[in-house]
Structure 1
Amino acid sequence: MDSKKWLQNLILFLVLLFLSGTFFFALYLYDNKYSSPVPVSQDGIALLDENNLSRDVPAYLVDGWKLYPDQLLTPAQIASTADTSSVTTYIGQFLNLSAFHRNKDSYGTATYRLLLHYDGAPATFSLLLPEIYSSSKVYVNGELVGQTGSISPYQPQIKDLVCSFTLTEDTELVVQTANYTHYYSGMTFPPVLGSAACMYTMNAVRMIFYGFLCFFSLAIALFTLPFWTQKGSRHHRLSLCLGVLVLSFCVRILYPFIHLLGLGSIRLLYTMEDAASMLGIFCILAIVLLYMGIPLSHGKGAMLCRCAGTMLLVSIIVPLAVLPVFPTYTFVYGKMISIYKLLVALLLICLTFYSSVRQNYKAKWLLGGVTIYGTSLFAGTVLINRYEPAYTGWLDEYGVFALVLCFSMFMFLENRSMIAENESLTFHLQEEVELKTQDIAGLINERQRFLSEFLHDLKSPMASILTYTQLIQENQIQLDPDTASLLTVIEDKCSDMAGRIKTMQDFTVENNLEFCMEPLDLYLLLQQFHHSNQPDVELDGIDFLFSSRLTEGACMILGNREKLLRMLENLVYNAVAATPADGTITLTLRKESDHALITVSDTGCGIAPEEISHVFNRFYTNRPNGKGLGLYIVKTIVTEHKGTIDLHSVPSEGTSFIISIPLLHQL
């Protein structure tokens, strides 16, 4: 690739990186609970603004919390006990309790306390506490206003808890938590205080956002579904990876709806969420490698896939089997997942940039999606305890959705390119077929001319031999018996050879008929054929009838007049040969649906059942002097007219041939 093209791709990469970084920075500023927390006084009291709360502006209770690790304290106990063990913190600073344990055990109990000062008149507000791990009790001014699960006996439950209470000038919030299930513990996401309408708006926007992501992504998966069946192709593997990526993404973002149900299978649900995230990374990596032409079965591609597959297994096995028994490994597990995501983000960006520099414009969509996803993955990992969306979704969820959109556009361009290539191949194939057909037709015509000339030249000496033989026999020249016998053999062989030459000439003439299709009125054609041939047929005492309820112009077809007349002659005169003097031959025309039906029936001797399947074969005949070409030619003409022919026969009763030809408006 030239330096100009390389520079263009580098500029595109930097622009995408800048735009995606700007977008995520805007989310950090305007859709982040941590970016606009409630102010806290020097003595640790959260100061609530009446104007904001009255205008349905939510208050994010981030700072000023007192944390009592490994203690379950009621408001009364806090008030009556000297504060010697609390830690001033903000929500999200400690994702679990491992920082307070020498063995890094993340499990345990904790109590959180926050004092609120409100400068307005007492009013009722709602408090939203998202995902407290993994059971809790909430007290307001010493009164229990809500809980999730059970602290004692321990019964975990994860859901978004909403409590309503009367906010006075000075209000105390106390939250007790217990966790022995999840690798997060206590309050990890800032609570939100606001009016009931404000809480409703926040939840509605959030549900609409995740519903849109889920159903739009499923629509993309259904769009790629037909390509999953094209086994063995690179396009099939790309489509399959995209489909699995979308499905894993949908499973992952179902958690807001699951929290509404308040299910208790916490360990399984969060393991499923982590595994869906790791499976998505695996699929993204596979798509990039497949597009770059790196095989997944061996070499570097296999190594990267094995690493991604190992992390997928780790995300399933560790939360389900290791952490319940060895909770001290929670810190190591969390760091390992964070480092893995950072490395994957950097690797994907490097691979895709390299691919876009070397390949065509379609890689720009791949580069764009992976750049956005890598940026989101990096930002989400770095801001793990400084960002929580207020209304919409997490940074890496935006990244995966953008990646799905870009991959979908990439697949669309791939499909369009394949369709255009197939159309081009089809067009050139048609041209090639037409050229080859013309060559073959010319070769066949040349051979037919040669055969006609050869047969004509062969016919003259054969006729001379037969004539001289007959002259010798007629002049009664004195010949000994042996010579006379040999002359008879010569005469028979010459007659047989002359018959064969005549048969071949007839067949050659039939093939040389110019096949020109034109609109024909089948009713007029059959009526004229009957009128022209009725005297000849009835010379032998046979009745030749024509029957049709149609009228002129009511049965139009696209056909060749000469060939259709040849077809009718063969059928009718075959019937004459098989019908006794007092018999009847009937020619019938009718319409059925979108086809014209021609029937030639007789009251002759019929055809034996074992011969019916052979009568249309070339050179098959059951008559001593037959050539075996009549019905073969009939079927050939019917096929050329895109029709079909059927035969019904009963020995000693007669035979019927039914020919079906499409009407003109159906062609």
Structure 2
Amino acid sequence: MEGKRKNARFALLLAAVLLSSVLYFWLCWRFDNKYTYPRPAAKMGVVRLDGDWYEDSPFFYLADGWAFYGGRLLSPEEIAGAEPDAYLYIGQYGGFDLGDPAAPAHGRATYRTVLLTDGTERDYALELTEIFSRWRLWINGRLMQSVGMGDADAPAPGSPMVTFTAGERIEIVVEVEDRDGVYSGMVYPPAFGSPSEVSRASFLRVIIHCAACAVAALIGLLCLLVRSGYHFSIPYGALALLCLCFCLSTAWPIAQALGWQGGVWPVLERLGTYGLFPTLAWLQARIMALPRRAYYPVCAAGAAVCAGILLVRVFPAESAGTLMAWSGVLSAYKWATALCMLASCWWALRRSLRYSRALLAGSCVFACALIMDRLLPLYEPILLGWFIEQAGGVLILVICGVLCFDTVRVYRERDALHMRERVAEVQLAARAEQARLSEEYVRRTREQLHESRSRLTLIRYYLDVGALGELSDYLDEIAPKLGGTAPQDYTGHSLIDAVLAVQLARAAQMDIFVELDLARLPEKLPFDDGDLTSLLMNLLDNAMEGCQRSAAAERWISLGISWADGEMEVLCRNSACEDAADKGTSKADKRAHGFGLPIIREIAKRYGGAATAGREEGCFSVEVRMKASREAHACP
């Protein structure tokens, strides 16, 4: 029944994750999208900019209203009498091909748009975003930027934004030439508006991407440090690689703002984006300990895709159809990876493998990103990242949380094992000491019994002859030898007596005065021997450690054990100076510090009882109650 309830709760949580992801990505598409951002109407290469509207909204994107002149590089003077090949919106096609697979994959073209204003002279700004090629930018007949075109004394862009002053008419002409890029021409809408608004949008975008990259880089660096310092089977190195891929996929706005031009950045961005997929699949499978056959094919395909990205750059495609086919391969690989991740998480969930639920939720976010990317194709983010980038960031956080939790679990299990080993060693030492004392007592008793006949004979002689003085002297001589070193009997329970003997001997060596108030206990208690040993060891260890912080003359421990009505009560008090809470541990193993009280509470809870600890004036006390009923004893 409890399992069904957990499954129902997880199903509701998973549904909430899916709905939240869909809603979030739709909100991004609606409010952080260059294509849905409010803009003036455009038609036949002309944008009519209403003055009142612009005063209220001095920032928009020049998405549509562009005239396209294929195969020609036309200056503003030459373009006046030319007829455009098409009117389009930026991003409608991936290059100069106008959707024709037989068209060349590369070439040259000119883009032109005209903005008609109310005639008021204003300061404007234009930000060209990601032209993966060579270009010239003309505004009202003036050359504003020239990159890779070989123009003498041409202005090189220090930033992607240019500012200018214009009145009634603004003509923007962009000449673009490409020979080997994955994308040709203008594929992303430029930003237009007042310099302050354009600068603000650019600044916010860079800050957001810098923050995302900084977080990912910090996580990756920490993973490398942990991986180099500790020999874990946890795949911290792969998580660091995942963080690197995320940084590469989101760092392009930063590179553009810094003026880092060149064809290497688009390649690095694509390598980072498509490197996310195999790394995520491999990490997920390693965390859930899936068989290799479940994720090796996807990872091998991911390596082939990354190699293909490099080959496309080195050996440019000849036709647009080749690039379209390559785009289809990339899309199919993304879907195959997402389906593989979902299937592997579902398979692991059915077998109740560790962390399968958290990873399934993260994979659902990733799948939602792909689905919404297909359902809402006309999308380019203004401030945030692409859907896949954001989902990759979510998965990085999920995997990072899982690995951190797993690391803590490993440490806790190791400390628990260390404690169990220590308890076993103490039990063994206590029983060995008890056995040694018993053996010594038996040996001395046998020796005394062996000598008893001769002593009794001599005593009989003194009595027979009436030598009472000699008898008294003889008895004074042998009486001390009749005593033996018997094992201490504190409570009547052999194990508890053995543990107390060891711990009280340690306290004596530390010059700690111990006051005992111990009831007689049954020889057999309904508690596990390991739990009893751990309870007393931790209580007295903590008490002795607390006493060491006090002055030598003020060290004391009071231990009381009572048994009544099937319930055992243990009360341990020790001297403690006022600032003891501010000092560190004195234990040799610093990692064991802080586990004593939780272990005591866990043992008490296991037997239906409780443990309370508190500080009083000049002392620290711990009270433990445990019930003898077997129903209360549940294994952890």
With the shorter chain as reference, the TM-score category is 0.5 to 0.7
Q: 1:430 to 1:166 in 2, by over 3 A?
A: same
Are 2:288 and 2:354, in contact at CA under 8 Å, matched by a contact in 1? Answer: no
Between the aligned partners of 1:248 and 1:262, the Cα distance in structure 2 is 21
Aligned-pair CA distance for 1:71:
1.1
Say yes or no: does 1:405 pair with 2:397. yes
Are 1:59 and 1:194, in contact at CA under 8 Å, matched by a contact in 2? Answer: yes
Map 1:514-529; keep pairs closer than 5 Å. 516-519=508-511
Q: 1:21 to 1:88 in 2, by over 3 A?
A: same
Say yes or no: does 1:428 pair with 2:420. yes
Aligned-pair CA distance for 1:346:
2.9
* Residue of structure 1 in register with 2:190 after alignment: 191
Are 1:146 and 1:161, in contact at CA under 8 Å, matched by a contact in 2? Answer: no
TM-superposition CA deviations, 1:308-347 (whole Å, max 9, x none) = 332233233x233332688863222222112211222233
* Residue of structure 2 in register with 1:259 after alignment: 256
Q: 1:136 to 1:99 in 2, by over 3 A?
A: same
* Residue of structure 2 in register with 1:244 after alignment: 241
Are 1:135 and 1:148, in contact at CA under 8 Å, matched by a contact in 2? Answer: yes
Aligned counterpart in structure 1 of residue 278 of structure 2, from 274, 282, 288: 282
Q: 1:342 to 1:120 in 2, by over 3 A?
A: farther
* Residue of structure 2 in register with 1:367 after alignment: 360
Between the aligned partners of 1:226 and 1:66, the Cα distance in structure 2 is 54
Map 1:58-137; keep pairs closer than 5 Å. 58-81=59-82, 83=83, 85-99=84-98, 103-137=102-136
Between the aligned partners of 1:281 and 1:514, the Cα distance in structure 2 is 62
Between the aligned partners of 2:168 and 2:350, the Cα distance in structure 1 is 63
Letter in 2 for 1:253: T
Q: 1:429 to 1:557 in 2, by over 3 A?
A: farther
* Residue of structure 2 in register with 1:396 after alignment: 388
Aligned-pair CA distance for 1:459:
10
Between the aligned partners of 1:278 and 1:330, the Cα distance in structure 2 is 16
Say yes or no: does 1:20 pair with 2:1. no
Say yes or no: does 1:311 pair with 2:318. no
TM-superposition CA deviations, 1:618-644 (whole Å, max 9, x none) = xxxxxxxxxxxxxxxxxxxxxxxxxxx
Q: 1:366 to 1:198 in 2, by over 3 A?
A: same
Question: Secondary structure in 2 aligned to 1:35?
Answer: coil
Between the aligned partners of 1:145 and 1:518, the Cα distance in structure 2 is 85
Between the aligned partners of 2:92 and 2:505, the Cα distance in structure 1 is 92
Q: 1:160 to 1:16 in 2, by over 3 A?
A: farther
Between the aligned partners of 1:249 and 1:159, the Cα distance in structure 2 is 26
Question: Secondary structure in 1 aligned to 2:380?
Answer: coil
Between the aligned partners of 1:374 and 1:325, the Cα distance in structure 2 is 33
* Residue of structure 1 in register with 2:370 after alignment: 377
Letter in 1 for 2:10: N
Map 1:525-536; keep pairs closer than 5 Å. none
Aligned-pair CA distance for 1:362:
4.6
Between the aligned partners of 1:323 and 1:457, the Cα distance in structure 2 is 105
Most deviating of 10-19 and 39-48: 39-48
Q: 1:519 to 1:12 in 2, by over 3 A?
A: closer
Say yes or no: does 1:272 pair with 2:268. yes
Question: Secondary structure in 2 aligned to 1:80?
Answer: coil
Question: Secondary structure in 2 aligned to 1:92?
Answer: coil
* Residue of structure 2 in register with 1:481 after alignment: none
Are 2:112 and 2:173, in contact at CA under 8 Å, matched by a contact in 1? Answer: yes
Between the aligned partners of 1:444 and 1:142, the Cα distance in structure 2 is 105
Aligned-pair CA distance for 1:366:
2.1
Aligned-pair CA distance for 1:381:
5.5
Q: 1:100 to 1:22 in 2, by over 3 A?
A: closer
Mind listing any 5+ residue stretches in structure 2 that lack a counterpart? 454-483, 485-501, 513-550, 556-636
Between the aligned partners of 2:276 and 2:553, the Cα distance in structure 1 is 61
Are 2:117 and 2:168, in contact at CA under 8 Å, matched by a contact in 1? Answer: yes
* Residue of structure 1 in register with 2:480 after alignment: none
Map 1:325-364; keep pairs closer than 5 Å. 329-356=322-349, 358-359=351-352, 362-364=355-357
TM-superposition CA deviations, 1:2-32 (whole Å, max 9, x none) = 5544443333222211111110100111111
TM-superposition CA deviations, 1:45-67 (whole Å, max 9, x none) = 21223234334631211111111
* Residue of structure 2 in register with 1:652 after alignment: none
Q: 1:518 to 1:275 in 2, by over 3 A?
A: closer
Question: Secondary structure in 2 aligned to 1:126?
Answer: strand
Between the aligned partners of 2:439 and 2:239, the Cα distance in structure 1 is 57
Between the aligned partners of 2:229 and 2:356, the Cα distance in structure 1 is 22
Are 1:158 and 1:264, in contact at CA under 8 Å, matched by a contact in 2? Answer: no
Letter in 2 for 1:289: A
Question: Secondary structure in 1 aligned to 2:295?
Answer: helix
* Residue of structure 1 in register with 2:48 after alignment: 47
Q: 1:444 to 1:271 in 2, by over 3 A?
A: farther
* Residue of structure 2 in register with 1:418 after alignment: 410
Between the aligned partners of 1:371 and 1:348, the Cα distance in structure 2 is 9
Letter in 2 for 1:277: T
Between the aligned partners of 2:150 and 2:419, the Cα distance in structure 1 is 74
Aligned-pair CA distance for 1:456:
7.4
Between the aligned partners of 1:5 and 1:519, the Cα distance in structure 2 is 55
Question: Secondary structure in 2 aligned to 1:127?
Answer: strand
Say yes or no: does 1:443 pair with 2:440. no
Are 1:127 and 1:193, in contact at CA under 8 Å, matched by a contact in 2? Answer: yes
Q: 1:264 to 1:210 in 2, by over 3 A?
A: closer
* Residue of structure 1 in register with 2:295 after alignment: 301
Aligned-pair CA distance for 1:449:
4.0
Length, aligned pairs only: 474
Greater Rg over alpha carbons, structure: 1
Are 1:53 and 1:195, in contact at CA under 8 Å, matched by a contact in 2? Answer: no
Are 1:16 and 1:372, in contact at CA under 8 Å, matched by a contact in 2? Answer: yes
Letter in 1 for 2:246: F
Question: Secondary structure in 2 aligned to 1:175?
Answer: strand
* Residue of structure 1 in register with 2:199 after alignment: 200
Aligned-pair CA distance for 1:164:
1.9
TM-superposition CA deviations, 1:568-603 (whole Å, max 9, x none) = xxxxxxxxxxxxxxxxxxxxxxxxxxxxxxxxxxxx
Q: 1:355 to 1:143 in 2, by over 3 A?
A: same
Between the aligned partners of 1:49 and 1:455, the Cα distance in structure 2 is 119
Are 2:25 and 2:369, in contact at CA under 8 Å, matched by a contact in 1? Answer: yes
Map 1:479-628; keep pairs closer than 5 Å. 516-519=508-511
Aligned-pair CA distance for 1:127:
0.8
Are 2:159 and 2:256, in contact at CA under 8 Å, matched by a contact in 1? Answer: yes
TM-superposition CA deviations, 1:350-385 (whole Å, max 9, x none) = 33344345437854432332222222234345655x
TM norm structure 1: 0.63
Between the aligned partners of 2:24 and 2:247, the Cα distance in structure 1 is 23
Question: Secondary structure in 1 aligned to 2:91?
Answer: coil
Q: 1:556 to 1:143 in 2, by over 3 A?
A: closer
Are 2:119 and 2:169, in contact at CA under 8 Å, matched by a contact in 1? Answer: no
* Residue of structure 2 in register with 1:607 after alignment: none
Most deviating of 177-186 and 138-147: 138-147
Map 1:167-182; keep pairs closer than 5 Å. 167-182=166-181
Between the aligned partners of 2:188 and 2:164, the Cα distance in structure 1 is 20
